Structure 1
Amino acid sequence: MKQIDIIKQWLQDYPVVASIIKYVILVAVVLLLIQFLRRFLRKNITETTARYKTQKGVEIIGYIILIILSFSYFTGNIKDFTLAIGLFSAGVAFTLQELILSIAGSLYIFVVKVYKPGDRIEINGIKGDVIDVDSIYTTMMEIGQWVSSDNYTGRIVKLSNAFVFKGPIYNYSQDFPFIWDEFNLPIRYGSDIDLAKSIVKDIASKILSEYTSKSKLQWQDVVNKYYIEDAIIDPTLAIKLTANWIEFNLRYIVDYKKRRITKDLLNDAIRKSFDATNNNVILASTTIELIKIPELKVDIKNESN
């Protein structure tokens, strides 16, 4: 009992310290409650998306409650909350502007649904798959850079949520998880062009049929939701005459995560079909044709001593 009385007396003698200790205990209780609720939801919600969103919701609500309690605690009256916010904002707006923008960005991302975990985005020149969004940072698995096509580099990037207010955000998968892709095929002059066109169109229709049918249904939803004109979903083939060859341009729609493997399947199937035409269709390469070789006169004289 004597030790308790000593502690009480000490707290009475130092009210500022006592106030700080009480505030620390209050913050600790709120943070522990947030963690408890997050663990409870993680164990009892099986669906991944719902589990993630509810955990983030609890985290955001908990921080808001913590801010309100902090202002109320130090002002002594909840009625002074508005005045406290003004004074607090004036004091820290400059030094903590990046942190404030990051927190505001996380709320904006969550409410407006700019992107979510699982989306493939490009922001601030960084491209990757979103694997987490917290109150300050967006975490991405990077793609591109020194690796060709849309392959992972292995680097995990943390990006401030403040960047959602500072530039464009490219989302590969929101509302419409398909993208248009294309590649060129050089066909040698003298080849059977009609046969080549038929081969390319048939292969494209066969390999891309699943993406085409699925994308048509989802593209209609995009047209109904946004002010956008309708687009051609089926594969298209355009021909261009160049100085060296006839250029085929194949444009098609594909799942945003299967761009590289789909292009490989198309190129390999087209190559095999062209090889089976007995040289009726030949892929071209860069060649140099000499139109006229100038005449050279060489005069060799035998001189004897």
Structure 2
Amino acid sequence: MDDFQQYLEQLLSQTPLQMGNIIETIIIILVLIVIRFVIVRIVYRQAEDTSTRYRWRKNVTYTIVFIGFLLIGRTWIEAIGSLATFLGLLSAGLAIALRDPVTDMAGWAFLMWRKPFNVGDRIQIGENKGDVVDIRFFKFTILEIGNWVHADQSTGRLIHIPNHLVLRDPIANYTSDFEFIWNEIEVIFTFETNWRKAKSIIEKITNDHLKDYVNDAEQQIRRATKSYLIHYRNLTPIVYTDVVDDGIKMTIRHLSNPRSRRGINQMIWEDVLDAVANENDIDFAYKTVRIYQNQIEGKEKLKPAKDDLEHSSEQSISGSAE
């Protein structure tokens, strides 16, 4: 009890200027907290969308903190007596003791100013990729996709990434400005397949599923060209033909929303499987070993003549007799 009384007497014995600054700081903090609370309550009553509430809450918090920093800093700068002295001491202390937090705040400022991504965007930074769910002063958080889960679907893990990495590592944004990515599906048929018929079937299936994407993509391309030099000659699905070791490869190249890529792949594959099952002259190719007999399976003009076959057989028999 005596120690507390001594502390109180010591505190009250401080200069009036210092006590005034302490009281003014407390008042500023309380007033700003009340203002933030009132604004957030108003926003929650007016807006029902979760993302809108989140953005308002974050922006109001940042603004209040910035104003508070200015007001409290001005109060104590006057107490110190010199702006240059204050900034010098502050910068020296931050540079030595708070290097990582300072670079994180610089990264946060870059995120707020340049906006390489926003909350809700799907991004990849370094080896981590996912949907951005939160951005703060020192870190941002993504809901991870990929890893052991295929087709860019969520793993359920939250990854917290320091903000300074946005100044160091490349950032890939799946959904900013242009909310589509190019996707490819490979289908391989045997060499004996009626490949023209197979290609027309695949083109019809692809166009039936993806025709609605083209109009949306054209509108977003026009919007994206205002910020970036993006130009695509053709946005409609295309089926490319190629020959590989296993057979004839058809590659479907099409636009897809990043979050629905797996679903689109499934719908296209199911229709392709159903269509091929009903065709007797179309069959899938797969890894296997086969013996090709040219005299039986080859083209007529390329088959060896009967005389050549008989002569070859006679030579084989005579060679065996010797």
Q: Please, what TM-score do these two structures have when normalized by structure 2?
A: 0.79
Match of 1:282 in 2: 283
1:262 equivalent in alignment to 2:272? no
The correspondence for 2:181, drawn from 179, 182, 206, is 179
User: Alpha-carbon deviation of 1:125?
Assistant: 1.7
Match of 2:99 in 1: 97
Alignment deviations for residues 266-298 of structure 1 (CA, whole Å, 9 cap, x no partner): 111111101111x21100111213479xx9xxx
Alignment deviations for residues 222-272 of structure 1 (CA, whole Å, 9 cap, x no partner): 235422333421111111112321111111101111000100111111111
Answer yes or no: is the 8 Å Cα contact 2:107–2:166 preserved in 1: yes
User: How many angstroms apart in 2 are the aligned matches of 1:285 and 1:215?
Assistant: 35
Answer yes or no: is the 8 Å Cα contact 1:237–1:249 preserved in 2: yes
User: Alpha-carbon deviation of 1:29?
Assistant: 1.7
Other structure's SS at 1:122 match: strand
Answer yes or no: is the 8 Å Cα contact 2:120–2:132 preserved in 1: yes
Match of 1:45 in 2: 46
Match of 2:11 in 1: 11
Change in Cα spacing, 1:89 to 1:252, as seen in structure 2 (3 Å) is: same
User: Alpha-carbon deviation of 1:161?
Assistant: 1.8
Q: Which structure 2 segments of 5+ residues have no match?
A: 294-315, 317-322
The correspondence for 1:154, drawn from 149, 153, 156, is 156
Answer yes or no: is the 8 Å Cα contact 1:133–1:139 preserved in 2: yes
User: Which residue identity is paired with 2:287?
Assistant: T
Alignment deviations for residues 160-180 of structure 1 (CA, whole Å, 9 cap, x no partner): 222211111111111011110
Instruction: Report the aligned-residue RMSD.
Output: 3.0
Change in Cα spacing, 1:291 to 1:92, as seen in structure 2 (3 Å) is: same
Percent identical across equivalent pairs?
26
Match of 2:301 in 1: none
User: How many angstroms apart in 2 are the aligned matches of 1:195 and 1:146?
Assistant: 37
User: How many angstroms apart in 2 are the aligned matches of 1:165 and 1:100?
Assistant: 13
Other structure's SS at 1:76 match: helix
Match of 1:234 in 2: 236
Other structure's SS at 1:201 match: helix
Other structure's SS at 2:282 match: coil
User: How many angstroms apart in 1 are the aligned matches of 2:45 and 2:83?
Assistant: 36
Match of 2:140 in 1: 138
Alignment deviations for residues 12-38 of structure 1 (CA, whole Å, 9 cap, x no partner): 335599579647735642562364245
Match of 1:66 in 2: 68
Answer yes or no: is the 8 Å Cα contact 2:153–2:259 preserved in 1: no
Change in Cα spacing, 1:20 to 1:54, as seen in structure 2 (3 Å) is: same
Answer yes or no: is the 8 Å Cα contact 2:238–2:252 preserved in 1: yes
Question: Which range moved further: 67-76 or 156-165?
Answer: 67-76
Match of 2:196 in 1: 194
